[in-house]
């Protein structure tokens, strides 16, 4: 019987391969984060100089006049997100509660699957849906149609996140409430939902961050507007749409504004993500023993 089956040379080769592969994986990690760093750097360099108070308070200026802001687009994005939230949050949270509580029901399995499929639909398809449903019959674009398209996108995001968060609520807590004589629905609403609330808020914020940057569903629903409008049945401006319009234009001034708007949009998305992380962390500190 040979005691040492491993020859030192093959061992050296295997060790070297191990080293090379770990290096390659590390390189992949560097390459993957490189675009992010380049993009954020470029954005800061191009956009930061154009951001001032006027950007937030003024209206866009016609071509040729420099300056101007994006007040209408900022307000428009807030309104669109508000409509989307009014649709996406109740439906998403309700469905999420159902999925978490009727985990094994056949309907739940189907809904879960279809909710994931819905989540994978291209955003432009949502735009077509809202256009044919709400724009074509009336004959004009509207903030409402844009909000509906975004709201439909939000539903699956909120649903699955709510389900996940509710499932983290310990069964013992629920059983304790039921044992105290709470009816089931009150247990769900006042105990389970309240305990899971920070998580659900996080999920809602992440969903908002996702849809706030969407352009494709708005192209033929909210459409965009160069003027001030807060009416729900009229076309409305939005930051992402404004970025698209300005980026395609041949004017340097507008390009600068597009960069500034992109920086604001990213800032918004990042701020929401960071708040969401903060909320999650305080939840772990608070509830987790």
Q: Among the candidate windows 7-15, 49-57, 65-73, 167-175, which touches another protein by CB under 8 A?
A: 7-15
Site membership for another protein, residue 101 (CB under 8 A): yes
Residue 99: how many other CB atoms lie within 10 Å: 23
Q: Using CB under 8 A, pick the residue from 133, 164, 226, 234 that binds another protein.
A: 133
Count of residues interacting with another protein (CB under 8 A): 111
Site membership for another protein, residue 1 (CB under 8 A): yes
Alpha helices, DSSP H, located in the chain: 8-47, 53-57, 71-101, 106-119, 123-130, 143-167, 171-179, 184-186, 193-212, 239-248, 252-286
Interface of this chain with another protein, residues 198 to 237, rule: CB under 8 A = 201, 204, 209-210, 212-216, 219-220
Q: What are phi and psi of 223, to 5 degrees?
A: 70, -35
Interface of this chain with another protein, residues 53 to 72, rule: CB under 8 A = none
Site membership for another protein, residue 50 (CB under 8 A): no
What single string gives the DSSP state of each residue in 1-63? --S--S-HHHHHHHHHHHHHHHHHHHHHHHHHHHHHHHHHHHHHHHHGGG-SHHHHHSPPPPT
Binding mask 148-167 for another protein (x = CB under 8 A): ----x--xx--x--------
Give the residues across from 236 on adjacent strands: 223
State the helix-helix crossing angle for 143-167 and 71-101, rounded to 10 degrees: 40
Whether 220 and 135 have beta carbons less than 8 Å apart is answered as yes
Q: Among the candidate windows 31-39, 65-73, 167-175, 227-235, which touches another protein by CB under 8 A?
A: 31-39
Q: Among the candidate windows 35-43, 67-75, 227-235, 278-286, which touches another protein by CB under 8 A?
A: 35-43
Interface of this chain with another protein, residues 81 to 100, rule: CB under 8 A = 82, 85-95, 97-99
Site membership for another protein, residue 252 (CB under 8 A): no
Write down the least CB distance from residue 67 to another protein, Å: 20
Site membership for another protein, residue 129 (CB under 8 A): yes
């Amino acid at each position: 019987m040979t005691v040492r089956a491993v020859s030192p040379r093959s061992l050296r080769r295997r060790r070297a391969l191990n080293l090379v592969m770990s290096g390659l994986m590390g390189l992949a990690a560097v390459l993957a984060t490189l675009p992010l760093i380049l993009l954020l750097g470029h954005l800061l360099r191009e956009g930061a100089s154009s951001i001032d108070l006027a950007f937030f308070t003024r209206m866009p200026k016609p071509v040729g006049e420099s300056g101007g802001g994006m007040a209408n687009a900022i307000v428009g994005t807030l309104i669109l997100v508000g409509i989307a939230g009014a649709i996406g949050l109740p439906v998403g949270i309700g469905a999420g509660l159902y999925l978490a509580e009727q985990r094994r029901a056949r309907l739940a399995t189907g809904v879960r699957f279809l909710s994931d499929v819905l989540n994978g639909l291209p955003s432009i398809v949502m735009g077509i849906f809202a256009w044919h449903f709400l724009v074509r019959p009336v004959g004009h674009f509207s903030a409402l149609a844009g909000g509906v398209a975004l709201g439909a996108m939000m539903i699956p995001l909120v649903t699955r996140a709510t389900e996940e968060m509710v499932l983290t609520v310990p069964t013992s807590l629920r059983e304790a409430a039921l044992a105290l004589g709470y009816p089931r629905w009150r247990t769900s609403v006042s105990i389970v939902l309240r305990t899971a609330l920070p998580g659900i808020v996080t999920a809602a914020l992440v969903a908002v961050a996702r849809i706030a940057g969407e352009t494709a569903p708005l192209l033929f629903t909210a459409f965009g507007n160069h003027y001030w409008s807060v009416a729900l049945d009229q076309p409305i401006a939005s930051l992402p749409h404004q970025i698209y319009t300005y980026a395609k234009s041949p004017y340097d001034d507008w390009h600068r504004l597009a960069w500034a708007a992109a920086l604001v949009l990213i800032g918004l998305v990042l701020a929401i993500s960071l708040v969401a992380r903060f909320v999650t962390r305080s939840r772990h500190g608070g509830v987790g023993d």
